[in-house]
Amino acid sequence: MTYFRWALGRVGVAALTLTGVSILIFGAVRAMPGRYSDLVLGPLASRAEKDAAAERYGLDGSLPEQYVHWLLHAVRGDFGISMASQTPVASEFAERLPATVTLTALALCVTVLIGVPLGVLTGIRGSGGGRTGRLLGSLGLSLPEFVLGSLVVFVFTRYGLGLTVGAYVPWDQGPLRSVLSLALPAAVLAVFCTAAVARTTRDSVLGVLVEPHIAAAIARGESTAHIVRHHVLRNASIPVLTLLATLTAYLLGGAVIVERLFNTPGLGSFLVDGLDRRDYAIVQAGVLLAATVFIVVNVLVDIVCGIIDPRISNQAGSTAT
């Protein structure tokens, strides 16, 4: 019962946080210079034309009324109309969401499949493996994405090597072709993420290995593989899951530089284009979506961590009482 109260409390805090974020987003956009009607129609438009544009974009009421109107429509999936294309923002997002989700899923798969085993291996092998892990982690973390991405674009454009750059294939033309078209940008994104996960996993494994129950398992004669599977991985997984939640939100929010380099029609580059055009309906929707993903993913990870280690929820419940 304590766990369910704790999980419900986490969901409640997330809801309050998301409400506060929506207020900040709305206020920040409204604080920017220039009205929607001025941006759409120009300074020479008549008052009647500006009033009609304000009514079209839901700007003909007070700020509290505008916020409630925008929030109620956003909850239903209606994010307004883009000033540049005069199309619903939700439909624009729906067209670009598959590319971003596929890119994020590929990058996370590579990150988990390489970063976690590498971190566990370097943590178990001791000083020699630790030096190798630190070297690889430092290289991956210090190499900027635009440098690596530019190098990959140059090499594959110059020499081919069987993959094309800037040729995204939509899902309706074949899921496998779509995944292969995003292999290069996903690999570039995965370098930083893999290095971060490998370093975090290594540090977490080293922290678990010095705990008393590991020494007891060794004294009982348990094999290294058994100790890693049953004692190390579960206890070392919480910091890794927390980092993966942050990386997921980062990738879904849009790795803009990589999307631009590889001409990927994702949400990140679309949001930047909307900001350049001062298309505030797109900016509001994009930031709110990124904040929602970040908050929801972190709540889910907190709940999973509470299942893995019941001490988290029990400690929180005892602190609250």
Give pLDDT, residue 64: 83
Give pLDDT, residue 103: 86
Q: In 3D, which of 203, 207, 298 has the Cα closest to residue 244?
A: 298
Give pLDDT, residue 140: 74
pLDDT by residue (tens digit) across 207-264? 888 888 788 887 887 777 778 877 788 788 888 888 888 888 778 765 677 877 787 7
Identify the weakest region by mean pLDDT among 39-53, 230-244, 287-301. Answer: 39-53
- Selected residue with higher pLDDT from 52 and 160: 52
Inform me whether the pLDDT recorded for 281 exceeds 60.
yes
pLDDT band at 113 (very low <50, low <70, confident <90, very high): very high
Inform me whether the pLDDT recorded for 128 exceeds 70.
no
In Å, how far from its chain's centre is CA 139?
22
User: Cα–Cα distance between 24 and 71 in angstroms, integer?
Assistant: 12
Inform me whether the pLDDT recorded for 291 exceeds 80.
yes
Q: pTM of the full predicted structure?
A: 0.77
**CB-based contact 271:283 (threshold 8 Å):** yes
- Selected residue with higher pLDDT from 107 and 1: 107
Alpha helices in 76-174 (DSSP H): 89-110, 116-125, 127-142, 145-159
- The whole-chain average pLDDT of the chain stands at 78
pLDDT by residue (tens digit) across 54-77? 777 666 777 788 788 888 888 888
**CB-based contact 214:220 (threshold 8 Å):** no
Inform me whether the pLDDT recorded for 319 exceeds 70.
no
Give whole-number Cα distances, 254 to 97, 207, 266, 269, 312, in Å.
Answer: 10, 33, 7, 7, 31
Inform me whether the pLDDT recorded for 31 exceeds 80.
no
| DSSP letter, residue 173 | G
Which residues make Cβ contacts (< 8 Å) with residue 24, sequence separation at least 6? none
Q: Is 81 helix (H, G, I), strand (E, B) or coil?
A: strand
User: Cα–Cα distance between 303 and 228 in angstroms, integer?
Assistant: 24
The H-or-E segment that residue 208 falls in is helix 183-209
